[in-house]
């Protein structure tokens, strides 16, 4: 049972005889206005967080600098921080306040391999060639949530608002690597409402399955073990693990035709052997199996295991597998989305400058996308599509099936980009990302105030969660009891690129912006022929 102590407790204190007169909280609209004003006052800090995390460019599970930096800001501002939660060294939970309701903010912090890119430059121009970079824009999420949390803390103290704020990072989201483990570790068990935030080119929220372009998945690595031999002198003595990988992949591609159209499956060979004259004794392939719901994802996973077993039988090798990530398809809460939509409309789109639009259009032209610049308008809250088609995944799905949750899309990037590429990093340390993050922080703070001050809204969100969302569907984790977070992933890549990237870390003590530090003229576009 969830209990609340917001207005009720404050009233009790006020009425208690002989107590010092506490200040009555201002009415909700005035508080929201104050929140927006306070977020504006923090614009420099917001910009610095966007730029600093962009410059760290850390891959999933290796977000050490990012986590140190963000928790440092939160600790300095009086948040209690627990480090290394759920068995993940770069994960943490920061908390302020006491009692109910508990509102948790979550947003991702990891970046994309090979996406290094100079911000503000409308063509491919890496900061460090081949290095990771924020080619999805996850560098802006903490700027949104931390700014909102600092403002909320100030308002809660000044206006004696009860309740608890929590902040949690989405570690290794690109690997769908942690949130099922967060749920298993009980990180959200006392949480009433989760407000997620993700970078987008539009300002929007959604509920239920939204536009239907979400799948759930399991991410599985198959390790084949054969027998080494001289590939020319005695190949009959060997058993090739690489043959098994290739046969598994071929088998999967034949079977693909007979799977539901909603499935998406893809792979990379992570170990193809060492050199041609040695029969590969070890080889490995990594699959993502995506589908629309738990039973179908589970079926794909089992089919994958069957293919692997069969390939090992054909080749006289053995196989074992490791689950390295999983995600339920997200399902978002209608009550919170409707509340959030009003705040999105109240805040409105950022005011884009001519320079912002010039960068956006030049990049769209460069990559052959539709040239239409940055979005200026906010769409109304859309009805969820009846028949989801599937698409990408996000491990916030597991949280959304355990606590009422929404996912705010804030407008900090350029439309019509391919995703997971250098192009998606171009705007991410420019005024586009700075302004979009400020707008996002306002909505996060205002939506939290709605739930802190209206306990009945929290109840309504839970009613929807219990009576609509989970009426017939019950959460079951994809994790087996011995699955562990794959915290060693990306270690080698960051050991290689970390020292090179370090030379370009943003120094806000000497430079107003990262663009200024890199000496980039904003915007830099190709000269007209």
Q: How far is the CB of 184 from Zn ion (least distance, A)?
A: 21
Q: Which stretch binds Zn ion (CB under 5 A): 32-40, 135-143, 148-156, 321-329?
A: 135-143
* Alpha-helix residue ranges (DSSP H) falling in 241-290: 241-256
Q: How far is the CB of 144 from Zn ion (least distance, A)?
A: 13
Task: Taking the CA atoms of 506, 507, 513 and 516 in sequence, report the sign of the dihedral they define.
Answer: negative
Output the CA angle 449-169-156, nearest 5 degrees.
25
Which residues lie below 8 Å from residue 437, measured CB to CB, with a gap of 6+? 46, 47, 49, 50, 140, 143, 144, 147, 410, 412
Cβ atoms 293, 264 nearer than 8 A: no
Residue 163 or 485: the one with the smaller Cβ distance to Zn ion is: 485
Q: How far is the CB of 138 from Zn ion (least distance, A)?
A: 6
Residue 343 or 424: the one with the smaller Cβ distance to Zn ion is: 424
Residue 38 or 136: the one with the smaller Cβ distance to Zn ion is: 136
Main-chain dihedrals φ then ψ at residue 90, nearest 5 degrees:
-95, 5
DSSP per-residue string spanning 285-316: EEEEEEESSHHHHHHHHHHHHHHHHHHHHHHT
Pairing of strands 282-291, 264-271: antiparallel
Residue 63 or 136: the one with the smaller Cβ distance to Zn ion is: 136
Residue 413 or 517: the one with the smaller Cβ distance to Zn ion is: 413
Q: How far is the CB of 198 from Zn ion (least distance, A)?
A: 6
Q: How far is the CB of 396 from Zn ion (least distance, A)?
A: 9
Q: How far is the CB of 120 from Zn ion (least distance, A)?
A: 21
Q: Which stretch binds Zn ion (CB under 5 A): 136-144, 342-350, 427-435, 472-480?
A: 136-144
Return the CA Rg of the chain. 24
Residue 34 or 136: the one with the smaller Cβ distance to Zn ion is: 136
Residue 134 or 159: the one with the smaller Cβ distance to Zn ion is: 134
- The tokens for 16 are 């208690």
Collapsing DSSP states into helix, strand and coil, what is residue 270? strand
**What character string, x for contact with Zn ion (CB under 5 A) and - otherwise, covers 199-228?**
------------------------------
Residue 407 or 465: the one with the smaller Cβ distance to Zn ion is: 407
- The tokens for 330 are 């997200």
Residue 136 or 243: the one with the smaller Cβ distance to Zn ion is: 136
- Give the number of residues in contact with Zn ion, rule: CB under 5 A: 1
Collapsing DSSP states into helix, strand and coil, what is residue 364? helix
**What character string, x for contact with Zn ion (CB under 5 A) and - otherwise, covers 51-90?**
----------------------------------------
Q: Which stretch binds Zn ion (CB under 5 A): 68-76, 134-142, 307-315, 418-426?
A: 134-142
Q: Which stretch binds Zn ion (CB under 5 A): 128-136, 277-285, 293-301, 308-316?
A: 128-136
Pairing of strands 216-225, 264-271: unpaired
Cβ atoms 180, 327 nearer than 8 A: yes
As beta bridge partners, residue 239 has: 227
Q: Which stretch binds Zn ion (CB under 5 A): 131-139, 239-247, 345-353, 361-369?
A: 131-139
Residue 200 or 460: the one with the smaller Cβ distance to Zn ion is: 200
CB atoms within 10 A of CB 303: 17
Q: How far is the CB of 178 from Zn ion (least distance, A)?
A: 13
Output the CA angle 310-312-315, nearest 5 degrees.
110
Q: How far is the CB of 13 from Zn ion (least distance, A)?
A: 42
**What character string, x for contact with Zn ion (CB under 5 A) and - otherwise, covers 170-189?**
--------------------
Q: How far is the CB of 50 from Zn ion (least distance, A)?
A: 15
Cβ atoms 162, 445 nearer than 8 A: no
Q: Which stretch binds Zn ion (CB under 5 A): 129-137, 220-228, 504-512, 517-525?
A: 129-137
Q: How far is the CB of 135 from Zn ion (least distance, A)?
A: 10
| CA nearest neighbour of 473 among 326, 295, 260 | 295
Q: How far is the CB of 446 from Zn ion (least distance, A)?
A: 23
- d(C-alpha 68, C-alpha 44), whole Å: 20
Residue 136 or 291: the one with the smaller Cβ distance to Zn ion is: 136
Q: Which stretch binds Zn ion (CB under 5 A): 43-51, 132-140, 152-160, 267-275?
A: 132-140
Residue 331 or 464: the one with the smaller Cβ distance to Zn ion is: 331
Which residues lie below 8 Å from residue 11, measured CB to CB, with a gap of 6+? none
Q: What is the DSSP letter of 425?
A: G
- The tokens for 199 are 């970078």
Q: How far is the CB of 38 from Zn ion (least distance, A)?
A: 27
Q: Is 454 exposed, middle or buried (0-12, 13-18, 19+ CB in 10 A)?
A: middle
Output the CA angle 118-526-504, nearest 5 degrees.
15
Residues in contact with Zn ion by CB under 5 A are 136
């Amino acid at each position: 049972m969830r209990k609340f102590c917001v207005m009720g407790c404050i009233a009790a204190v006020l009425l208690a005889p002989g107590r010092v007169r506490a200040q009555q909280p201002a009415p909700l609209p005035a508080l929201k206005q104050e929140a927006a004003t306070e977020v504006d006052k923090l614009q420099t800090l917001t910009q610095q967080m966007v730029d600093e995390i962009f410059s760290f460019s850390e891959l999933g599970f290796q977000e050490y600098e990012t986590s140190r930096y963000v928790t440092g800001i939160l600790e300095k501002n009086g948040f209690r921080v627990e480090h290394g939660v759920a068995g993940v060294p770069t994960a943490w939970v920061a908390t302020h306040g006491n009692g109910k309701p508990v509102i948790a903010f979550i947003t991702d912090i990891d970046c994309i391999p090979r996406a290094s890119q100079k911000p503000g430059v409308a063509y491919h121009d890496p900061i460090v060639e081949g290095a990771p970079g924020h080619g999805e824009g996850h560098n802006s999420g903490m700027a949104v949530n931390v700014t909102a949390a600092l403002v909320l803390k100030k308002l809660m103290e000044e206006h004696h608002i009860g309740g608890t704020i929590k902040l949690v990072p989405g570690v290794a989201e690109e690997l769908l690597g942690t949130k099922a483990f967060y749920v298993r570790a009980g990180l959200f068990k006392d949480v009433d409402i989760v407000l997620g935030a993700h970078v987008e080119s539009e300002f929007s929220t959604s509920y239920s399955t939204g536009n239907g372009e979400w799948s759930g998945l399991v991410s599985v690595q198959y390790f084949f073990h054969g027998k080494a031999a001289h590939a020319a002198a005695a190949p009959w003595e060997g058993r090739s693990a690489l043959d098994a990988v290739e046969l598994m992949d071929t088998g999967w591609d034949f079977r693909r035709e007979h799977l539901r159209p909603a499935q998406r499956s893809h792979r990379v060979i992570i170990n193809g052997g060492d050199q041609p004259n040695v029969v590969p004794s070890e080889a490995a392939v990594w699959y993502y199996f995506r589908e629309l719901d738990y039973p179908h994802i589970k079926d794909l996973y089992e089919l994958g295991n069957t293919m692997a077993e069969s390939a090992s039988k054909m080749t006289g090798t053995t196989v074992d597998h490791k689950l390295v990530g999983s995600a339920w398809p997200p399902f978002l809460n209608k009550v919170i989305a409707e509340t959030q939509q009003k705040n999105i409309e109240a805040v409105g789109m950022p005011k884009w400058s001519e320079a912002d639009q010039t960068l956006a259009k030049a990049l769209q032209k460069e990559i052959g996308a539709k040239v239409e610049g940055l979005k200026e308008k906010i769409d109304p809250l859309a009805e969820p599509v009846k028949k989801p088609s599937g698409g990408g995944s996000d491990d916030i799905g597991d949280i959304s099936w355990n606590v009422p949750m929404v996912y705010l899309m804030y407008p900090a990037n350029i439309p019509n980009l391919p995703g997971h590429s250098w192009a998606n990093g171009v705007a991410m340390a420019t005024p586009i990302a700075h302004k979009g993050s400020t707008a996002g922080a306002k909505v996060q703070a205002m939506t939290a105030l709605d739930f802190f001050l209206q306990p009945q809204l929290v109840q309504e969100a839970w009613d929807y969660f219990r009576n609509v969302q989970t009426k017939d569907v019950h959460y079951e984790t994809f994790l087996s009891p011995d699955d562990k977070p794959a915290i060693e992933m990306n270690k080698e890549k960051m050991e290689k690129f970390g020292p090179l990237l370090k030379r370009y870390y943003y120094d806000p003590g000497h430079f107003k912006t990262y663009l200024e530090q890199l000496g980039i003229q904003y915007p830099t576009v190709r000269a007209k022929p």
